[in-house]
Amino acid sequence: MTEEGASDLVGKIINDLINHQTNFNNLQTKFFEEKKRNVNLEKKNQSLENELSEIKKKIQKTNSDNENKIAKINSVNENKIKVIQLEYEKKIKILDKIFYNYNLKIFKKTRKLIFWMEKLKTYVMYMIKNEIN
């Protein structure tokens, strides 16, 4: 090999080394940028997960609050129903007493009426008998 050929080969090798070093430096820069971006994405992801966790807690608390409100409403409604049932039962008892007393009065008046009808019948029979004689 001639000196000039060797010098060209050395120059080419140096150029290749410089290019490889530049490529390596560029790749290393890209790697660090991607790593930094990845760290930022992980932080953002963690932040979003924390936010999601807080939202879930709020939803659970709201659901729990709503369940408590529903339970209270059901309890109030059950109590109202019991009160209405008691009032209804009292009114039914009062109506039963009124109906019983009314029927008793009708029965007594009917007996009186029958009694007076029998008396009238006896009187009419007596009058008819006396007229015939």
Question: Mean pLDDT throughout 25-47?
Answer: 97
pLDDT one-digit tens code per residue, 6-32: 788 888 999 999 999 999 999 999 999
Please say if the pLDDT value at position 2 is more than 80: no
Q: Give me the pLDDT at residue 1, please.
A: 56
* CA separation for the pair 115, 107 (Å, rounded): 12
DSSP state of 133: -
pTM equals 0.52
**Mean pLDDT of the chain, nearest integer:** 94
Domain residue ranges in the chain: 1-97
Instruction: Answer yes or no: is pLDDT of 70 > 60.
Output: yes
Cα–Cα distance between 75 and 82 in angstroms, integer? 11
Which helix H or strand E contains 1, and what residues bound it? none
